[in-house]
Every structure is written in C-alpha cells, then in structure tokens.
C-alpha cells in the first residue's frame, strides 16, 4: 500500500496530510501553529468517514493540544505523537515518501524533484526571491528528513507549472541586464492548484486537456488567474513575487510602481514599510478593514460604502484579467473558479463574469447559487464557454507528483 505524507511548512506553522494513494483518500490532516513562540497549538483531524465505526462514540475526529513547540523537529514529533495517540497507525500506513510544498523554484526547477544536498542549496539560494517562504520550506524539509530518514523526500514547487510561460509573458520591460543580473522576471505561483484544477476541469467537461483553452481563477487569501492552452500555462497574473496581479485579501496586486517612489519621497516610507503596506495592509483589508470576503459580502449587503467599493475594485480587476487573457488565448473553452473565495462566493463569480455574453460566457444564476463541495457547472447549457466551480486540492496534487517521482 502506498501512502504519502504531504508537508507544507511555514516559518511558524506546519500543515500535514497523510494520503492513501490507492484511493486518494485523506487518512489524517493536521495543523501545528506558533512554532517557536512559547504556547504552540496542534490540531490533528481524522476525516469522519475514516474513524472506525466501533470507536465512533468516543472518538472525536479532531483533537487539539496546546504545548510549547520550540522548532520544526519538535513539530514533527508532535505530529508523530498525534498519529500514535489518535491514529491512523503510521506502522500500518508508513509513508513511502514525503512530498513538500516549496514556494519558489526560480527558473531552475520545472518539475517535482527528489531532495538532495544540491537541491537544498538551490532552494536556499532562491530565498533571495522568496524571503518569507523558501527558508521556512527548507526548515520543514530538514526537520522531516531528520524524523523520516529512510524515505525519499520530494519537493513540488508553486512556480513549476508556469515554466512554460513564453518570454513575452515572463519578461518585464526593464533594462535587460539588470533583469538578468538580479533574476527579475515573472515566475507565477499557485501552480500546483492551477494544474490540478485545469486537469479536473478537462475531466468534468469530458474533453482532452490538450485541446482546451482554459482560465483558472484561484481566489483564496492570495489570488491569481492563469491562462492555460492545451494543459500548458501561457500567462499568469502573479509575477516575480505573489504580490502582482489581482486584488487579494491583504495584498494590493497591480499598482503603479511610482506610488512606491512617491510614498518614499513624500511620506518617508522605507522599504520594509512599503513591503508591509502592499503585502499586509492592502487589498480588501486596506479598502474595507477586513480580508475576509464573507465579511465584505455581509457589510456590502448592509449598505456599507467601504465594503461596496472593496467588492467593486476586486471584481473590476478580475474582469479586466478575464478579458485580457481571453484575448491572449484567442478564445476560451472553460473557466474554473477555485479556492476559498472562488468555491464559495457566488456574488463574486456573478459580478466577475457579468455582461460577458458577447464573449460566449453566460452564467446560470440558480446554478451559481448552489452551495456544494463538489465540482460543478455554473454556466447555462447554451453558454459557449463552460464555467465551473472546481474545489482545489493542492495536497493531493503534491502527493500525486511525489508518487510519480518515486515510482519513476
């Protein structure tokens, strides 16, 4: 039996999922937070249908512990304890490999890769481009190697799917020598999700991936849109970092770069202050005081002007990208919405695609309102472009790619 442990390591958190590959079921998942911060917190969840029926009466499917977790190795030990105490047994479900999410693969990594010393050096070197993410990802890899020394570890990069972008899409129009020297170009992110969703979408519409022109709108706390031609990413809205493009929970997305110069000269903002402003205090949070689309929708429904503007700016930008990518692809067969906002926020989906009948896009209002965790069609039967909601599953995609590498 092949089980894969998927790990997503942040600077103070560790998310994990154990997936049984024969059935692609999640056997357990967990979140360990506040690593290195005094009072840590660990949540271990066994999906309800995995709890043996004999135990159900006294087996909570989620268990929670508070304890100090000094570092990532300690976090893995807490994870092992949780498996030991609440199951499933790792002796029975010994992972054949560990799959790690890594945010930035630069232009070096274009496919899932078995971890070696050289690979780790390269991930560390790419920290220059992703200072918040790559060092934390690497810490997780090293801790996992310590705890699982005799299984292969595989890294799956958020950027890898976008290695097929043509130079016209990935080059910034700046001094070419400066760009080359400092690796300034567009890389794109959320690739694992865009890949997974576009493949699911092809299955759902029952047509070969190779002949479809698709848009995938990954709208979570971070948000990006990708144009996919025959299964290959040809344009995506995030750039050298995950700041470019759409309006997000706390990130501005596109902005005139001269605004930074202005704020520096006029208001004395230094680079850290600008970084914080654009990454943490902008987007929906900056406009409406909350980064959660549920709250924005609620306040907007109550007539709050700031929430109304935040919603309008969000969908205005989204629609502009849909139009631009429609033009880049010369037509679109399938549009898929995914991630927290894309899967749940019907008003965002409706507003982003409103008035696009001339492009062959026609949403079915009642299908769009259906709440479900299943992939589904939300366009009318007459709509030339099929519009879908497809729940993303980045962990499963990482597990699939990990298994492919270790079986190869």
Q: Is 33 in the site for ligand ADP (CB under 6 A)?
A: no
Site map (CB under 6 A) of ligand ADP, residues 219-248, x = contact: -xxx--------------------------
3-state secondary structure of 114: strand
Shorter beta-carbon distance to ligand ADP: residue 340 or 360? 340
Contact yes or no for 329/234 (Cβ under 8 A)? yes
Look at the alpha carbons of 48, 50, 54, 60 in this order and tell me if their dihedral is positive or negative.
Answer: negative
Coarse DSSP helix, strand, coil percentages of the chain, rounded to the nearest 5 percent: 45, 20, 35
**Catalytic residue check, 158:** yes
Sheet arrangement for strand 334-338: 232-236, 223-229, 213-219, 334-338, 386-389, 376-377
Based on the shown chain and the rule CB under 6 A, indicate whether residue 389 belongs to the binding site for ligand ADP.
Answer: no
Window 38 to 57, contacts with ligand ADP (CB under 6 A): none
For residue 185, the SS3 value is coil
| Residue (69 or 297) nearer to ligand ADP, CB | 297
Taking CB under 6 A as the criterion, the residue among 88, 135, 231, 340 binding ligand ADP is: 340
Closest approach, Cβ 179 to ligand ADP, in A, equals 29
- Distance (Å, whole) CA 132 – CA 296: 27
Which residues in the 166-225 window bind ligand ADP by CB under 6 A?
A: 220-222
Active-site residue (options: 158, 275, 292, 304) = 158
**How far out from the chain centre does Cα 23 lie?**
23
Q: In the bound complex, what is the minimum distance in angstroms from residue 304's beta carbon to ligand ADP?
A: 16
Distance in Å, CB of 292 to ligand ADP, minimum: 4
Residue nearest to ligand ADP (CB): 340
Whichever of 141 and 339 has its CB closer to ligand ADP, that residue is 339
Pairing of strands 95-102, 153-157: parallel
CB of residue 21 to ligand ADP, shortest distance in Å: 23
Using CB under 6 A, pick the residue from 6, 119, 293, 352 that binds ligand ADP: 293
**Out of 166, 294, 331, 369, which residue is the one contacting ligand ADP (CB under 6 A)?**
294
Q: With binding defined as CB under 6 A, does residue 318 bind ligand ADP?
A: no
Of 344 and 383, CB closest to ligand ADP: 344
Tell whether the torsion through CA atoms of 303, 308, 310 and 314 is positive or negative.
Answer: positive
Please tell me the count of residues contacting ligand ADP according to CB under 6 A. 13
Q: What is the distance between the alpha carbons of residues 348 and 329, in angstroms, rounded to a whole number? A: 23
Burial 344-381 (b: 16+ CB within 10 A, else e): bbbbbbebbbeebeebbbbbbeebbeeeeeebbbbbee
- Determine if 341 is a binding residue for ligand ADP (CB under 6 A): yes
Q: Which residues in 296-404 belong to E strands, given as ranges?
A: 334-338, 376-377, 386-389
**What burial class does residue 271 get, using C-beta atoms within 10 Å of its C-beta: 0-12 exposed, 13-18 middle, 19+ buried?**
exposed
- Minimal distance, residue 29 CB to ligand ADP, in Å: 14
Shorter beta-carbon distance to ligand ADP: residue 36 or 347:
347
Instruction: Confirm or reject binding of residue 95 to ligand ADP (CB under 6 A).
Output: no
Residue 101, helix vs strand vs coil: strand
- Interface segment toward ligand ADP; rule CB under 6 A; list 4-12, 14-22, 320-328, 341-349: 341-349
Q: Which is nearer to ligand ADP, 341 or 361 (CB)?
A: 341
Contacting residue, 105, 106, 249, 283, with ligand ADP by CB under 6 A: 249
Closer Cβ to ligand ADP, 220 or 245, answer by number: 220
Task: Give the nearest distance from C-beta 222 to ligand ADP in angstroms.
Answer: 5
User: Could you say whether residue 316 binds ligand ADP (CB under 6 A)?
Assistant: no
Adjacency order of strands within the sheet including 62-67:
62-67, 40-45, 25-33, 14-20, 3-9, 95-102, 153-157, 113-114
Rounded Cα gap, residues 142 and 136, in angstroms: 10
* From 5, 217, 332, 345, residue interacting with ligand ADP (rule: CB under 6 A): 345
* Closer residue to ligand ADP, CB minimum distance, 15 or 93: 15
Distances (CA, A) of 115 to 43, 109, 382: 27, 12, 49
* Site of interaction with ligand ADP (CB under 6 A): 220-222, 249, 291-294, 339-341, 344-345
Catalytic residues: 158
């Amino acid at each position: 039996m092949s089980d894969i442990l998927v790990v997503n390591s942040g600077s103070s958190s560790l998310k994990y999922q154990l997936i049984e590959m024969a059935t692609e079921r999640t056997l357990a998942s967990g979140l360990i937070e506040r690593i290195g911060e005094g009072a840590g917190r660990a949540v271990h969840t066994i999906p309800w249908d995995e709890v043996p029926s004999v135990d159900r009466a006294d087996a909570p499917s989620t268990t929670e512990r508070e304890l100090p977790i000094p570092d990532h190795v300690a976090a893995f030990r807490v994870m092992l304890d949780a498996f030991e105490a609440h199951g499933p047994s790792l002796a029975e479900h010994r992972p054949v490999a560990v799959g790690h999410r890594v945010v930035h693969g630069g232009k070096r990594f274009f496919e899932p890769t078995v971890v070696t010393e050289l690979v780790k050096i390269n991930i560390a070197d790419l920290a220059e481009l992703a200072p918040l993410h790559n060092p934390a990802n690497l810490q997780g890899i090293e801790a996992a190697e310590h705890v699982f020394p005799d299984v292969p570890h595989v890294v799956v990069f958020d950027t890898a799917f976008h290695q097929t972008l043509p130079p016209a899409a990935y080059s910034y129009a700046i001094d070419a020598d400066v760009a080359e020297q400092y690796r300034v170009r567009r890389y794109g992110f959320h690739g694992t999700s865009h890949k997974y969703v576009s493949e699911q979408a092809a299955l759902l519409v029952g047509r070969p991936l190779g002949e479809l022109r698709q848009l995938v709108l990954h709208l979570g706390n971070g948000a990006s849109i990708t144009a996919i031609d025959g299964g290959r990413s040809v344009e995506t809205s995030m750039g050298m970092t995950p700041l470019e493009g759409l309006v997000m929970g706390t990130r501005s997305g596109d902005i005139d770069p001269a605004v930074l110069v202005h704020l520096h000269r006029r208001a004395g903002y230094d680079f850290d202050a600008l970084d914080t402003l654009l990454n943490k205090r902008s987007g929906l949070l900056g406009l409406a005081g909350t980064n959660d689309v549920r709250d924005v929708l609620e306040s907007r429904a109550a007539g709050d002007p700031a929430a109304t503007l935040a919603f309008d700016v969000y969908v205005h930008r989204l629609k502009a990208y849909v139009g631009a990518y429609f033009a880049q692809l010369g037509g679109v067969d399938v549009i898929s919405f995914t991630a927290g906002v894309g899967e749940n926020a019907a008003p965002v989906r409706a507003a982003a695609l409103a008035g696009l009948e001339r492009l062959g896009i026609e949403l079915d209002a009642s299908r769009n309102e259906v709440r479900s965790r299943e992939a589904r069609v939300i366009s009318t039967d007459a709509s030339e472009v099929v519009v879908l909601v497809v729940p993303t599953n980045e962990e499963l995609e990482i597990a699939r790619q990990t298994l492919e590498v270790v079986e190869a």
